[in-house]
Structure 1
Amino acid sequence: MTTEDTTSLSDLLDVHDAVLAGMQKTGPQPMAPALGFYAGSLGREATDLSQLAFRQALTNAPADHPLLWLWRKQLTEWDFRTGADWSATEPRTDERRAAVHEKLGFDAATREVIDTLIPVQKLSGSVVISREFTPWRTLQSQQGRDWYWPKYAGLLASKGWSAEAVAKLDNAAERVVERLADPTAERPYQSRGLVVGYVQSGKTANFTGVIAKAIDAGYRLVIVLGGTLNLLRAQTQRRLDMELAGRENILRSASEVDSDYATDADWNQDKFLRHGGLPSQLGAFDIIRLTTRENDYKPLAQGIGALEIEKREQTSPLYDPLNLHHSAARLMVVKKNKTVLGKLVKDLKKIGSLLNEIPVLIIDDESDEASVNTANPNKPDAERTAINGKISELLKLMPRSQYVGYTATPFANVFVDPSDTEDIFPRDFIISLDRPIGYMGIQEFHDIDSDIPPEDRTFANSQARAHVRDVRASEDEDDASLREAVDMFVLTAAMKIYREFAGAEPLGAGHFRHHTMLVHESRLTADHRELANCLLRLWYDGGFTGPDGHQRLRKLFDADVAPVSAARAEGFAVPASFEELAPHIGAAWMRIGGNESPIIVVNGDKDIERGEADFDQRGIWKILVGGQKLSRGYTVEGLTVTYYRRSAGNSSTLMQMGRWFGFRKGYQDLVRLYIGREESTGKREVDLYEAFEAICRDEELFREELRQYSVMVDGKPQVTPAQVPPLVSQHLPWLKPTSPNKMYNARLVEVRSAGRWIEPTAYPKTATALRQNTQTWIPVLESLSEDTVEFSQTDENGMLRTFRAFAGLLPSEELLPLLRSLKWKGEQFAPHLAFIESIVKETAQAEDWLILAPQHAGPGKRASFGPSGRTLSWFDRARRRDPLFGAISEPKHRAAPLRVAGALPSCEDPVTERFVSERRGVISLYPVVEPDQHASVQAGGVLDPSNTVMAFSFVAPAAAERPDHRLVRFTTVDSSREEAPIISC
């Protein structure tokens, strides 16, 4: 590009910048007259402002040129904007982009160039489950008042966020803020919501954006509940200070050396946001911090002055726009601690009547931890748990307070009793954030529903093969797997240093400030000491810089690091041989253990307070050993190798331990997870890797359910937040969604499950009820075919599933009375029965049902059954807790029934195809014998109806859809009712 081209490009940038700035309020307008006006006012009359010149400039500009960035930012913002009054088109569509082009007056050639360089981002956006609300966020209401959001968005852009990523964050944060109450409204309203992200996926960025937009809108007191630990609170405080408050609000006329960040590397490298002056002196408003990085909330020494918000017009309430938009905002980050919150409540009470006027935003980070009331609601005198009680007090004190919880594990929150007005149930909205670009989540460590046979999986096509290494206690002698993990940590450290020397991206990756390994086996501090000693021994016996160590590292490099990186390095530098990497091993060894301390034990706040594990204060290349302190909220920066052996009893706890999730720019190919497999606990075989895969399925199914039900029907939401809990699933019997004392909520009336495999599990235990159910099914079993039928069908992943079963047809009019007579524990089957009755009686979409009795392939577990003494297979299943079983069917039993019901395409198996019919459902019967009854069955070879659970699964005809696509009907359960159920579908 010539100097003349550069100069004209610079002039064009100035003019286009001014034009697009002028369209912030109006939306897209004709470019030609606007260009002429601004070119004159800027003294750029000689600049070629034709569309041809613009096209050429865009085409010739470097990918990172400000002109291209300017248009990428603006077009993305217009693409994402919802409720745009200048277009009725849907956001993130070709139609929206075409409407923008039309309003700008661009010709076909210009449109083609722009859409090639800046394609429409057709991302799905956040999923919103919401009550109906009154819109108050308009373009006009934001004019002239936005200060902190644009500053924050600009900071993110300067840190390398793409325009698309910033626009996505803008959109997601706006979905939250628009559902808060209007801070200027005369009538107070408390909105309560929940934002569901992914573990270590940038939830803080979202709530920072929400806070920025909320204070711009008029919220003047922001209370962030920043976890239960000092280190988590301090992390959140620093992040908000750095990216939202900014240097001027931190200093407030104090000298740089007096700042609480005077020794912070990012502060001294000018990475904290700058406003260019105190915001109040620049026509905006200040943020007054009531907590600092080092200091949690403390009783205010000089009365309550710091909390009393000034009023410009004393005769008007604070929420009057005349007062609100001229007052400073107060920000505090408070630990979830009873004593600390008690001090805050005590101080707030001193404000008196002003509390009724302050628009307050409460952000609860990790809202499923400590915040939820776990007291038994069925006990009449039960007191609220400590933290929940203090949050409840805050909400009662401030009638204009809004509560927004943030979590990656939402089940505890959605199981809160919605009728408890003092609790934190997200009655107004639940928002599920998109999975961020570049995020390594559970899908990056599991081959979820992969259609590639296990024997054909490679480092290139298998996530598990690339990133996961098994740790089997029975095979792990002399800490062999732990030694390999340490070796991998040294090798990946050398790889990072190699990339630091590789030059510009993508080959190089800049400077890696942190490189860490996490070892997590126990929550006990004594175990941490023992493990740290073991790691020290492995480290000093490793010989990493000598021939023995190099021989081990060479073998691991050739077998693991080199082939994985060759397949997954995505352009980053990969050494051609171990010899090319070897010179960097010594430097890696020095960075990790040069100070003779390669290990940091993190099992208390003191570890971060003295700086050992403080990633903000210094670069850390260490092995971290810990337990609970490392399992929730605490971000382990630079995490590359994880050695994980600790189990947990519920999904929420286990998921929060997944510190290996996150953003791994420049080293995704180097990430390794060493995880426990098939360990006996005395009660069950625990496979941690299997457990995390089950969590992934539970989580993704929950998100998919939210997405499905977020579609409006007749302009109204299908479900409200109070109706969400029954959408929570559970794939492993022993791994509950969350703690049992957090599982209270609503009841389904009907679940429309056309073409879906449904498996009720809440069977009774009394001999009378079991006998009645068994005798109800015996005539059906007696009527089935004399010989077994072999069914074959490929499942949704393309895997061929085959099994044998006795089979027969049953008309719907005979099935209904049978189903109605069955005894259940609780109301689990009632919503499904309501659906079956509707498609039989109301819509005639189910004519008959194929009844199957699947049989084992081998001769074991067979017994005579019923008056004819017919021999059938029985199934060994245990209840996960009274009265619920876990999964009863087997995966191979599901594909053929789904095909018969029309939910899967044909694989041309003639036997299965013989039974396919549009109005046919399928029921699979499973005589279940619980473990304590095995002996009697095996001794006599006869199934006793009083000890047999006649379990079944069903698939309704896939064609039995409602025209309006409504899938569920609910009724709420009042917590005062004795029969209020625990929902656990």
Structure 2
Amino acid sequence: MSENNENYQDLEDYFRSLHEEKRFSFEEIRKKGKQISQNSDLVDEIIENLKKYQDDIIHIPIPSVISANPLKISYFGPKDSHIFWPKYKKHLKVEKEFPDDVINSIDDSTTKIISYMRNPNDDHFKLKGLVVGYVQSGKTANYMGVISKAADIGFKLFIILTSCNNKLRRQTQARIEHDLCNLNKNNWHRLTTRENDFRANEPDPNSKIAKGFDKYGRKIRDFDRTICVVKKNSNRLGNLIGWLKQADTDKLRLTPVLLIDDEADQASINTKSKEDPSTINRKIREIIDLLNKVVYVGYTASPFANVLIDPSAKDLYPEDFIFDLPKPKRYFGSERLFGREVLQYDNSIREAEIGKHPSNPDKIIEYYKPGMNIIHEVPNDDVYLLKPRNRREKEEFIPTLAKSLKRAIKYFWLATAARHFRGQSQKHSTMLIHTTSYSKPQNKFEDKLVDYKNSCVLRIVDKNTREEEINKFRKIWEEEQEKVDSTSLDPPLIPVSFDYLKPHLKDVMRRTQIFIENSTIKKEDRLVYGDEPGIFIVVGGNILSRGLTLEGLVVSYFIRTVSAYDTLLQMGRWFGFRIGYEDLPRIWMTNEFKGYFLDLATVEEEIRYDIQRYFKENLTPLDFGVRIRRHPSLLITSRLKMQDIIDSEISYSERRVQTTIFKVEDRTWLMGNLNATKKLFANIGRDPELDSLGYNSACWGLENIKVKHILQFIDDYTFHENHIQLNKKLLKKYIKDENNNNGLNYWNIMIMSIHGEIDDPLDLGFSNNKKVNLISRSRATTVNIRDANLKSIMLRNDTVLDLDDDEVKEAMKKNDDLFRIRTKKSPDKGLLTIYPIYKESTPSGNNPRTLNPNKPLEAKEHVIGVGFVFPKSKNHKGERYVTVRMSGLKNIEIEDEPVEDDDFE
């Protein structure tokens, strides 16, 4: 068939509207198309072309056939007859002392997750889903709630896959026993214990369970449940598979199974070819294949690898649902600690209160909460004292306690003493030191730390040195107290003066124990949190980077090298809850890594936004992939986990993009953009006029400018290389595609300015010699010293800067959707906004307690910033990011330290 067929375009437009607006599947469209057209070959051709079009613009490849089986919602909450969830809920309240709002959140989220499963009485089902939580935020408590509710509705067998590490598996087993099984002892049959989980050299005491009897020969009753916690290890999984194969075939076929994959991005992802998958991945799939009625639910806080699995393969892609757990109240996550970038969809929230104040743009950053001022920089000179530079040095390397580490230790003692004054002496208190993945250098810290502790205790008890030492502690405490306003927290805390904590200090120092946590340390010498409160300094590597909970973590000293989002995120053991001491945690890390965590917080927010948006639009993971922003210095995840990734796509439809990063030290670069702006107005041949267009009388405007001038300006202007969304090729291609559909042929141009006379107006080359008043935009504190990141130069109302009538003003006042107004008032016209920024701009009203207060711009020349505002697209096509391909990352990737093999026996 040919696309020149006269019916082709009409049918394609109709099919496209069914798919994009009414969310019909392609098979539903095919069926409907053949009802209205006698040319079935033409219908098939159009459908296949639409599929190819979708494959080109989504972010992860999707299978050719969209799932036609809608999920059956079979659960609407607990019933009076249920026995597992009610007891678990009571346990959370009485024993765990969870606040009511936390319990309610667990109740609500687990009900939603269960509702995405199938009725356990159905004849057959195989579902795969993913639950995205936050690091150290209570994922285990959540999936135990899911297990409880699934047990109540009839699921019989529960398999929990957890960690590649024995200690972490035992930790999970202990929690399952204490928080779940012990609440209904007569109803749970445990296949595993804290010591045994299908080890190859163990006799299987539970083999009778496979035949329907417990290990004592008693028949398992219909209302009983069976549970096991299994390490993600080839032999263990192989033995589990063998056990399942022993089962009575008919009984196994009728048994509904819930398979929980804890830390689902670790070991579960295929890192080999599709034809010969990696062992753990292959065996998890084999377990699923053995079962007739099974729901696989992965839990992770770093879902990057999981959402990049090929959905068309017979793999573990969460094709049925992806659920985003809500952020718990009082949770310390990457955004709260480090801040994050301002994103487009923040505008309505972030600028609601300051949209009326364009003359004071620094209020944007003040209103948008940055990170907390609790991060200390570790100088490079200190890094070299604490970790080997490479693998060759690890054998002989002997660490030296750097000045920054000594201060961190002293602060840990002070903060623990403050907790004791506040009545938390019966709680554990921990400091983490994570410098390297190599075990031998870790082990050499023990004697150094013990000696330092003893010397500090000696100085504080010796009458000849006591006063001097006490004054050093006082100075550290008073400096740290200035960083966080305890009374401004929610709930507020009472600040602790040094004189109040001082009586507790000596005892805290003496009681401090030093632990090294890696697999070379004997079991009896490893850290165990007992019933008695302890004070611990823990040195470790990989075993501390995922899953293991450090109770009462107050201070983290982190200089470990990593190269991927997921690794970095999981190593953030400082994320979590710090009830009663939210003002006390501190983190020591390099300035580079502080910047990485800020970027990572932005990536996390975008992923969660996508998940929530798809949920609201009633889309499944087979309809759209989750977008993941690239980073110039970090991989998203291991290359082996990104076998199916394709370049992401972007549509500028109803979007605004802006320049925020500038080479302020490069005079030639800055002058080039100023000259590009002057050339723009020279080419147009007429001058902008003050207060001639739009609602802001301080702005200069030009309307109905031909698109050729905009395209030429894009060629002449230099965007910073980190502006992925402002790629010249993408911008121009998008605009030209819109031109072909009679869109964006004409543009309005607005130049932001301020009222009044200033000493140094800017000459933009107007023929009438008029000059423009410069505006002020200060720079954010970032890792890159040479380049300035302004975070945002546009205000929310700049979306309609060139429009001016009562409806526009009312929309701005009510905080309405301004793109809707723009599409209504100016559906075919683009807007270019120009921001001439004073080179010596300074911040106004900075809060010194924030992590990233703004600082002066200090540019070599005045800065020209630009923004592009696009109406709704005529053809809805997306444009591809120009991203660094995996092979291209080799030259800029940070060398990651390899995992010690014995850490994961």
Alignment TM-score, normalising by the size of structure 1: 0.59
Partner of 1:556: 476
The residue that corresponds to 1:610 in the other structure is: 524
Post-superposition offset of 1:356: 2.2
Provide the identity percentage. 27
2:199 aligned with 1:294, yes or no? no
* 1:681-736, Cα deviation, whole Å (9 max, x unpaired): xxxxxx01111111111111221232233322xxx42x6356224x1113x31112
- Pair 1:349 & 2:245 matched: yes
Which residue of 2 is the match for residue 79 of structure 1? none
Residue 440 of structure 1, CA deviation: 1.1
CA distance in 2, matches of 1:180, 1:157: 27
Query: 3-state SS of the aligned residue for 2:547?
Result: coil
Partner of 1:88: none
**Cα 1:561/1:206, change in 2 over 3 Å:** same
> Does the CA-based 8 Å contact 1:756-1:898 persist in structure 2?
no
Q: Which one-letter code corresponds to 1:495 in the other structure?
A: A
Q: Partner of 1:390 in structure 2?
A: 283
1:53-111 superposed Cα distances (whole Å, 9 cap, x missing partner): xxxxxxxxxxxxxxxxxxxxxxxxxxxxxxxxxxxxxxxxxxxxxxxxxxxxxxxxxxx
- SS across alignment from 1:670: coil
User: How far, CA to CA, are the matches of 2:687 and 2:181 in structure 1?
Assistant: 68
Q: Quote the residue 1:517 is aligned against.
A: 431
Cα distance, 1:298 vs structure 2: 4.0
Aligned to 2:838: none
Please, which of 231, 238, 245 is the counterpart of residue 335 of structure 1? Answer: 231
The 8 Å contact of residues 304 and 347 in structure 1, kept in 2 or not, is answered as yes
Distance 1:787 1:834 in 2: 21
Does residue 424 (structure 1) correspond to residue 316 (structure 2)? The answer is: yes
Partner Cα separation in structure 2 for residue 538 and residue 454 of structure 1: 49
> Counterpart amino acid of 2:234?
K
Match of residue 655, structure 2, among 755, 772, 777: 755
Amino acid in the other structure paired with 2:329: I
Task: Quote how far apart the aligned CAs of 1:588 are.
Answer: 0.9
- How does the TM-score come out when normalised to structure 2? 0.63
Matched with 1:957 is 869
Structure 1 position 468 matched with structure 2 position 383: no
User: Which of the numbers 302, 316, 330 marks the counterpart of 1:438?
Assistant: 330
User: Which structure 1 residue ranges, 5 or more long, are not aligned?
Assistant: 1-128, 250-277, 279-285, 312-322, 501-508, 593-597, 678-686, 760-779, 792-801, 853-885, 907-915, 925-952, 972-985
Change in CA separation of 1:142 and 1:436 when aligned onto 2, cut-off 3 Å: closer
Distance 1:642 1:737 in 2: 24
Deviations 1:612-638 (A, max 9, x none): 312256543110001111001111111
Change (3 A) 1:455 1:954: closer
1:900–1:151 CA distance, 2 compared to 1 (3 A): closer
Q: Displacement of 1:849 after TM fit? A: 7.6
Aligned pairs, how many? 657
Residue 137 of structure 1, CA deviation? 2.0
What is the match of residue 207 of structure 2?
A: 304
The match for 2:609 among 681, 704, 708 is: 704
SS of 1:180's partner is: coil
Structure 2 residue ranges without an equivalent (≥5): 1-65, 343-349, 355-359, 386-400, 660-675, 689-698, 716-723, 752-783, 805-822, 835-864, 881-905
Q: Quote the Cα distance in structure 1 between the aligned partners of 2:223 and 2:879.
A: 45
Matches within 5 A, 1:280-291: 286-291=187-192
Kept in 2, the 8 Å contact 1:427–1:722? The answer is no
Query: Per-residue deviation at 1:297?
Result: 2.5
Alpha-carbon distance in structure 1 between the residues aligned to 2:566 and 2:687? 41
What is aligned with 2:142?
Answer: 206
How far residue 674 of structure 1 moved from its aligned partner, in angstroms, is 1.2
Residue in structure 2 matching 1:689, options 554, 575, 594: 594
CA contact (8 A) 1:640 1:672 kept: yes
SS of alignment partner, residue 625 of structure 1? strand
2:5 aligns with: none
Cα displacement (A) at 1:536: 2.6
| Residues 570 and 699 of structure 1: CA distance in aligned 2, closer, same or farther (over 3 Å) | closer
- The letter for the 2-side match of 1:191 is L
Q: Could you say which residue in structure 2 is the equivalent of 1:848?
A: 747
Q: Quick check: 1:246 aligned with 2:182?
A: yes
Partner of residue 176, structure 1: 113
Partner of 2:511: 591
The code of the aligned residue for 2:655 comes to G
Q: Is the 8 A contact 2:306 2:318 kept in 1?
A: yes
- TM-superposition CA deviations, 1:874-896 (whole Å, max 9, x none): xxxxxxxxxxxx9x997459736
Counterpart Cα distance in 1 of 2:269 and 2:799: 42
For 1:482, the equivalent position in structure 2 comes to 405
CA distance in 1, matches of 2:173, 2:327: 25
1:154 aligns with 2:47: no
* CA distance 1:662–1:243, change in 2 (3 Å): same
Q: Tell me, yes or no, if the aligned pair for 2:213 and 2:220 is still in contact at 8 Å.
A: no
1:151 alignment partner AA: K
Q: Distance in 1 between matches of 2:794 and 2:151?
A: 56
- Equivalent position amino acid for 1:349 in 2: K
User: Could you give the per-residue CA deviations for residues 896-916 of structure 1, whole angstroms, max 9, x where no partner exists?
Assistant: 69986548999xxxxxxxxx9
Tell me the distance in 2 between the aligned counterparts of 1:785 and 1:160.
67
CA distance in 1, matches of 2:365, 2:603: 26
Q: 1:429 to 1:736 in 2, by over 3 A?
A: same
Cα pair 2:163 2:231 within 8 Å, conserved = yes
For each residue in 1:306-345, what CA deviation from the matched residue of structure 2 results, as whole angstroms up to 9, or x when unmatched?
Answer: 233479xxxxxxxxxxx99924211000001111111111
Q: 1:448 to 1:209 in 2, by over 3 A?
A: same
Task: Give the whole-Å Cα distance in 2 for the aligned partners of 1:959 and 1:851.
Answer: 16
Report the CA distance between 1:606 and its aligned residue.
5.2
Q: Supply the RMSD in Å over aligned alpha carbons.
A: 5.0
1:645–1:675 Cα contact (<8 Å) kept: yes
Amino acid at match of 2:270: N
- Per-residue CA shift, 1:15-54, capped at 9, x if unaligned? xxxxxxxxxxxxxxxxxxxxxxxxxxxxxxxxxxxxxxxx
Structure 1 pair 751–459 and aligned structure 2 pair: CA distance change class (3 A): closer
- 1:508-530 deviation line (CA, Å, top 9, x unaligned): x5x43311100011001122123
Q: Deviations over 1:251-284 (max 9, x none)?
A: xxxxxxxxxxxxxxxxxxxxxxxxxxx3xxxxxx
CA contact (8 A) 1:309 1:328 kept: no
Distance 1:130 1:536, change over 3 A: farther
In 2, are the aligned partners of 1:471 and 1:481 still within 8 Å (CA)? yes
Counterpart of 2:542, as a letter, is Q
Q: Does 1:811 align with 2:731?
A: no
- Specify whether residues 612 and 836 from structure 1 end up closer, same or farther in structure 2 by C-alpha distance, changes over 3 A only: same
Is the Cα–Cα contact under 8 Å of residues 650 and 736 in structure 1 kept in the other structure?
A: yes
Is the Cα contact below 8 Å between 2:486 and 2:493 reproduced in 1?
A: no
Contact kept in structure 1, 2:211 and 2:248, CA below 8 Å: no
Matched, 1:653 2:548: no
Equivalent position of 2:268 in the other structure: 371
1:220–1:328 Cα contact (<8 Å) kept: yes
Question: What is the letter of the counterpart of residue 638 of structure 2?
Answer: S
**Structure 1 contact 487–553 (Cα < 8 Å) conserved:** yes
Pairwise CA distance, 1:156:
1.1
Q: Which SS does the other structure have where 1:404 is aligned? A: strand
Structure 1 residues 459 and 601, CA gap change in structure 2 (3 angstroms): farther
One-letter amino acid of the structure 1 residue matched with residue 872 of structure 2: A
Question: Which moves more between the two structures, 162-171 or 895-904?
Answer: 895-904
* CA displacement 1:454-482 (0-9 Å, x = unmatched): 99999999875642222112478971111
> How far apart are 1:664 and its partner, in Å?
0.8
